[in-house]
Chains A and B, each alone.
Chain A
Amino acid sequence: MPTTLELASQLRDQFPDLISAPAEFRGEVTLVVADAERIAEVCGFAKAKLGFDMLLDLSSVDNYGDDPRWTVVYELYGLGSNVHVRLKTNISEEKSELPTVCGVWRTADWHEREIFDMMGIRFAGHPDLRRILMWDGYPYFPLRKDFPLAGKPSVMPESAFSRSAPMDGGPFITSTSIEGATLREPRSRNPEN
């Protein structure tokens, strides 16, 4: 059976200009895809030729303050080879759009809807790109770093509304490094207060 690094190298050999050298950390291999526009092509090859027949997860990262702002992470898994490979690709905030991989793995449908709902990254060619957790018409993307934990007020007539939650000095954080059970209790550790 091929090893993780062998399969990762085969993927890189197919797209030598596009994909970085495999980086291994704690037994997990990550590849960075330079051009997000070609992610569907890379994923299609990985599934068809290298046996990555399962998309474990599809998630996004907000590198707030950096450019490019978004990182989209694809966790690929081959049931036959028992190999797990991670693909990462970056998108700028101005663009905020990359091709869908729904045509490769159907499970990507809801993952991409969740990323669209929480982060506001669009997936070109997605069959049904609607919000999946928040309601239609909610004006914000709540997992972005510049969105407050307490939320923002909004009104969607006849379907939903939202308000800011009272933080009361929070968030309340447990510090596991502190000696003593009493002091480890959740406390207000907001630097702004």
Chain B
Amino acid sequence: MFRVARPTAGRKPMSATVSAPTTTEFGYNSKIEGEVVHTTVDAALNWFRKNSLWPMPMGLACCGIELMAVGASRFDISRFGSEVMRFSPRQSDVMIVAGTVTYKMALAVRRIYEQMTEPKWVIAMGACASTGGMYRSYAVLQGVDQILPVDVYVAGCPPRPEALLDALIKLQGKVGREPFTKEWKKDAAPKKYGSLGMELGERGEVLPS
């Protein structure tokens, strides 16, 4: 509890020399404001984070239409604090890769991901974004996890809007468990692709695994 020396309120001091300073409680007053919740910094900050995950909508195919349905009134992603679709990667927290990622688009997707500020997460929405889906062909990246660290995969072709909401809830659970104050202490090397065994060539290209 903080205590601060302060003249007693409402009584004028007789003179400067005889005024008797009293102390006033200057902090949490449980009689006025109710109970106290104790928590950790991790849990509090994660709670802030997970309830306002702003998506970067990466609508590349028909899954993008379902993503729009998720944002509209019937399914209403704003119930989970993620209604603010940001078309600027610098303002978004979670990239929702919704649709077929072609090789022509692949490095553009990765560049947009790199422009997002930390912390950032990725949801691979639908069969194409997760594995290439039915496009077993020369033109389609066989899963966006070849270039991005994906947190949640959503099955479906396209997934129901409820499935994406479920993925968002699962991601919120994951964000809520992240021990990121521990990561402050580390000299954290960028964890971009290391966990995936991805390596980049001298010119920034993705090397075949």
Q: Which residues of A contact B (CB under 8 A)?
A: 133-135, 140, 142, 147-153, 155, 157-163, 165-167, 170-171
CB contacts (< 8 Å) of B25 on chain A: these are none
User: Do residues B107 and A158 form an inter-chain contact, with CB atoms below 8 A?
Assistant: yes
What separation, in Å, do the CA atoms of A135 and B138 have in the docked complex? 13
CB contacts (< 8 Å) of B205 on chain A: these are 155, 157-158, 161
Please encode chain B, from 105 to 116, with 1 for each CB lying within 8 Å of some chain A CB and 0 for all others.
011000000000
Give B111's nearest chain A residue, CB to CB. Answer: A158
A-B contact pairs, 11 of them (CB 8 A): A149-B136, A151-B137, A158-B107, A160-B104, A161-B106, A162-B138, A163-B208, A165-B142, A166-B142, A167-B136, A171-B136
User: Do residues B136 and A150 form an inter-chain contact, with CB atoms below 8 A?
Assistant: yes
User: Do residues A142 and B103 form an inter-chain contact, with CB atoms below 8 A?
Assistant: no
User: Do residues A165 and B137 form an inter-chain contact, with CB atoms below 8 A?
Assistant: yes
Contacts known (A158-B107, A161-B205); A170 close to B138, Cβ less than 8 A: no
User: Do residues A135 and B137 form an inter-chain contact, with CB atoms below 8 A?
Assistant: no
Whether a CB of chain A sits under 8 angstroms from the CB of B74 is no
CB contacts (< 8 Å) of A163 on chain B: these are 103, 142, 146, 208
Q: How far is the CB of B192 from chain A (nearest CB, A)?
A: 17
What separation, in Å, do the CA atoms of A162 and B140 have in the docked complex? 8
CB contacts (< 8 Å) of B119 on chain A: these are none
CB contacts (< 8 Å) of B136 on chain A: these are 149-150, 165-167, 170-171
Whether a CB of chain A sits under 8 angstroms from the CB of B72 is no
Contact residues of A: prevailing secondary structure: loop
Q: How far is the CB of B135 from chain A (nearest CB, A)?
A: 8
Number of B positions contacting A (CB below 8 A)? 18
Contacts known (A134-B104, A135-B104); A161 close to B138, Cβ less than 8 A: no
What separation, in Å, do the CA atoms of A155 and B107 have in the docked complex? 11
What separation, in Å, do the CA atoms of A142 and B203 have in the docked complex? 25
Which of the residues A147, A157, A158, A162 comes within 8 Å of B103, measured between beta carbons? A162
User: Do residues B204 and A149 form an inter-chain contact, with CB atoms below 8 A?
Assistant: no
Whether a CB of chain A sits under 8 angstroms from the CB of B132 is yes
Contacts known (A159-B107, A161-B106); A152 close to B138, Cβ less than 8 A: yes
Q: How far is the CB of A173 from chain B (nearest CB, A)?
A: 12
Give A156's nearest chain B residue, CB to CB. Answer: B205
Please encode chain B, from 130 to 146, with 1 for each CB lying within 8 Å of some chain A CB and 0 for all others.
00100011111010001
Please encode chain B, from 35 to 63, with 1 for each CB lying within 8 Å of some chain A CB and 0 for all others.
00000000000000000000000000000
Going nearest first, the 5 A-B pairs with the smallest beta carbon separation are A151-B138, A157-B203, A162-B103, A165-B136, A142-B138
CB contacts (< 8 Å) of A148 on chain B: these are 138
Whether a CB of chain A sits under 8 angstroms from the CB of B206 is yes
Which of the residues B137, B204, B208 comes within 8 Å of A150, measured between beta carbons? B137
CB contacts (< 8 Å) of B140 on chain A: these are 165
User: Do residues A153 and B208 form an inter-chain contact, with CB atoms below 8 A?
Assistant: yes
What separation, in Å, do the CA atoms of A92 and B174 have in the docked complex? 60
CB contacts (< 8 Å) of B138 on chain A: these are 140, 142, 147-152, 162, 165
What separation, in Å, do the CA atoms of A163 and B147 have in the docked complex? 12
Which of the residues B106, B132, B208 comes within 8 Å of A165, measured between beta carbons? B132
